[in-house]
């Protein structure tokens, strides 16, 4: 695992920066996509992140929440967050309009080791909200297409109305396939859906990737991982090239509050500090990491 990327804009890890909402797009009934821009041009020039990292987004007077960045780090000065309305803070965020300002700190945690993946194929496997952090990996790989081999993005949800970035990915399909990029989108519980039906592991066999030389990134609900791991290994994907990002348990963002600590006394992990990106071996050797 590569070392965490740390923004050098501030010496203080709690430092907050003001960002303006430029665009709000309703993705599903529960999720909105927000485009933010830094107000301070110096911060905008210096601030960057790795795919898989997250920020703490603060609504003054309401609170803060950790959210994975879902845009490409190649777009400097701007970043996108896909936010599901599930509580008091995210409800307040969903009320934001273009022109409003909020506060952000970060980025935090480990990202995916995308530099180590150069020359490899890439297989992305997402379920539900897991499509958000994997979108960052996908867009980064597309921005640096010459660095990587074939790419497959498997994007799934229970119902068609819940498929994140469905329209965006469908619009890219024809051009992507001409560039050896395969996009597979399916649902698991929607009999009215006119497209593909099936769980993520059902489509691994259709990926255009070479199992012996492929970096795999996975994100979704904990119940999916065992079946996906088994399918990947059965098809010959190397365990050391399998990575998972966990969208859960984080609170303070820097490992101080202890809210996200898991494991045993001999193998403690802080999801926010040691993750949120973990290796396959981290997952299978750390009790409670997927609970």
3-state secondary structure of 114: coil
* pLDDT tens digits for range 8-18: 566 677 789 99
Helix (H) or strand (E) holding 187: strand 181-187
pLDDT at 91: 97
Ligand-binding site membership of 9 (annotated): no
Ligand-binding site membership of 219 (annotated): no
CA 114 centroid distance within chain: 13
**pTM value?**
0.92
Distance set, CA 116 to CA 42, 237, 250, 281, 284 (Å)? 29, 17, 26, 17, 22
Partners of 101 in the beta sheet? 20
Integer Rg of the chain from CA: 18
pLDDT at 71: 98
Strand pairing class (54-59; 101-108)? antiparallel
- Domains assigned to the chain: 17-108 (2.40.30.10), 114-245 (3.40.50.80)
Partners of 121 in the beta sheet? 214
pLDDT at 2: 46
pLDDT at 3: 47
* pLDDT tens digits for range 86-127: 999 999 999 999 999 999 999 999 999 999 999 999 999 999
pLDDT at 14: 76
Ligand-binding site membership of 70 (annotated): no
* Ranges under pLDDT 70 in the chain: 1-11, 247-261, 263-267, 270-272, 275
Q: How far apart are CA 93 and CA 83, in angstroms?
A: 8
Helix (H) or strand (E) holding 270: strand 269-270
Q: Spell out the SS3 assignment of 30-69.
A: CEEEEEEEECCHHHHHHCCCCCCCEEEEEECCCEEEEEEE
């Amino acid at each position: 695992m590569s070392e965490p990327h740390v923004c050098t804009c501030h010496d203080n890890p709690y430092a907050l920066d003001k960002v303006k909402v430029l665009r709000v797009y309703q993705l599903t009934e529960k999720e909105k996509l927000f485009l933010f821009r830094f107000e301070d041009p110096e911060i905008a020039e210096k601030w960057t992140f790795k795919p898989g990292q997250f920020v703490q987004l603060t609504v003054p007077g309401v609170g803060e929440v950790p959210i994975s960045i879902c845009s490409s780090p190649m777009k400097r000065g701007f970043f996108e967050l896909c936010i599901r309305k599930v509580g008091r803070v995210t409800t307040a965020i969903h009320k934001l309009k273009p022109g409003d300002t909020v506060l952000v700190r970060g980025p935090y945690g480990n990202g995916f080791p995308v530099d180590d993946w150069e020359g490899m194929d890439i297989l992305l496997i997402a379920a539900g909200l897991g499509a958000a952090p994997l979108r960052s990996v996908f867009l980064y790989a597309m921005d640096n297409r010459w660095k990587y081999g074939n790419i497959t993005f498997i994007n799934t949800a229970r119902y068609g109305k819940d498929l994140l970035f469905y329209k965006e990915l469908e619009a890219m399909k024809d051009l992507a396939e001409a560039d050896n990029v395969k996009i597979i989108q399916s649902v698991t519980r929607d009999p009215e859906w006119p497209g593909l039906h099936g769980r993520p592991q059902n489509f691994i066999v259709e990926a255009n990737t070479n199992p012996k030389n492929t970096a795999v990134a996975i994100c979704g609900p904990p119940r999916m991982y065992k079946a996906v791991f088994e399918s990947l290994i059965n098809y010959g994907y190397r365990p050391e090239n399998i990575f998972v990002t966990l969208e859960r348990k984080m609170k303070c963002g820097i490992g101080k509050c202890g809210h996200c600590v898991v494991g045993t006394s001999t193998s403690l992990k802080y999801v926010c500090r040691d993750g949120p990106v973990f290796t396959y071996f981290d997952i299978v050797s750390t009790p409670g990491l997927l609970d």
